[in-house]
Amino acid sequence: MPASAPRRARALPLAALVLLLATACSAHGPVPDTDPTAAPPLPSPEDEGDAPAGGGDGQGVPADSGPLPEGPLSGRVVVIDPGHNGGNAEAASRIGEPVPAGPREKSCDTVGAETADGYAEHEFNWELALLVRERLEADGVTVVLTRDDNESVGPCIDERAEMGNEVEADAALSIHADGGPESGRGFHVIAPGEVPGFTDDIVAPSLDLAEDLRRAYLEGSGMPYADYLADEGLDERTDLGGLNMSDVPKVFLEAGNMRNPEDAALLSDAAWRERAADSIAHGLALYLMRG
């Protein structure tokens, strides 16, 4: 996959969109209908919670070089974690090594899902992460990616979480796409459940983050709520190392189900990914503007 995503012209500054979104829907109201012109019909599918990932050397990747533009979110720090990596499939022993993941250890990482046509989840995650980074940076956010290409191995799930801790990120988002049942559609956001000694400090703010992201993604991407798991697009898990090892508010987005033909068509579409990235950036901005 390309290491650089095409830059796109922004139709509206993110801040303006955030304000529109915030105005359109009260903070905790029900999720509004998806714009029919912007998205395909919405059924609801979802994705399973992902798997830990990682394996490699994980130096956080600084945002693009050069000064960030001043924006409404200047000074805020967000970690974007594109799940898995392109080299994982060829490094089974390495990504299978147990790493800290909470009360129990888990594998360093996994290979990830793919569509019937062979579009790999690690590639999707990487491409979408770059688009989200571009949007956040335009509003002044300092963005750290947990991997710097799509050809390496890892980093391991605990290292990915540690990157957010090290920079004391205001929010961290792990981007994935599920490998669920072929008949199931949709997305879900995974928030950390209570794991004493691990997630106590992040459960509440992470739920806020999950709700902001869920609403914005539903509205903006047109991907429906998962219909094969979770509850209206929201799940809570205590077994994900990427969440358990985080000390900063963090959620996973399972952006759609790669095994479902309708979802796969969207996930594989570059134009749709632009819209999805817009909505994810909006969701993160809504959360950051909470305080």
Q: Active-site positions?
A: 254
Looking at 13-21, 143-151, 170-178, 195-203, which segment touches Zn ion (CB under 5 A)?
170-178
Is residue 220 within the footprint of Zn ion (CB under 5 A)?
Answer: no
Rounded to a whole number of angstroms, the minimum distance from the CB of residue 204 to Zn ion is 25
Least Å distance, CB 254 to Zn ion, is 7
Instruction: Provide the minimum distance between the beta carbon of 71 and Zn ion in the complex, in angstroms, as a whole number.
Output: 30
Per CB under 5 A, the list member of 58, 112, 154, 205 interacting with Zn ion is 112
C-alpha span between 77 and 283 (Å, rounded): 15
From first CA to last CA, the distance across the chain in angstroms is: 36
Q: What is the side-by-side order of every strand in the sheet holding 250-257? A: 142-145, 77-82, 171-178, 250-257, 188-192, 234-237
How far apart are CB 257 and Zn ion at their closest, in Å? 11
Instruction: Give the single-character DSSP code of 93.
Output: H
Among 83, 164, 224, 241, binds Zn ion (CB under 5 A): 83
Least spacing, CB of residue 121 vs Zn ion, in Å: 5
Residue pair 18/282 in contact (Cβ under 8 Å)? The answer is yes
Check residue 231 and report its DSSP letter. Answer: B
Q: Which of 76, 176, 214, 275 binds Zn ion (CB under 5 A)?
A: 176
- Contact present, 267 and 125 (Cβ < 8 Å): no
Q: State yes or no: residue 122 binds Zn ion (CB under 5 A).
A: no
Considering only 31-39, 75-83, 100-108, 241-249, which stretch makes contact with Zn ion by CB under 5 A?
75-83
**Selected range binding Zn ion among 41-49, 92-100, 175-183, 281-289, rule: CB under 5 A:** 175-183
Q: What is the largest CA-CA distance in the chain?
A: 50
Cβ–Cβ under 8 Å, residues 157 and 268: no
Q: Among candidates 270, 287, 279, which has minimal Cα distance to 127? A: 270
Decide if residue 50 touches Zn ion (CB under 5 A): yes
CB 128 within 8 A of CB 276: yes
Nearer to Zn ion, 176 or 188 (CB): 176
Note the residues at the interface with Zn ion (CB under 5 A).
Answer: 50, 83, 112, 176
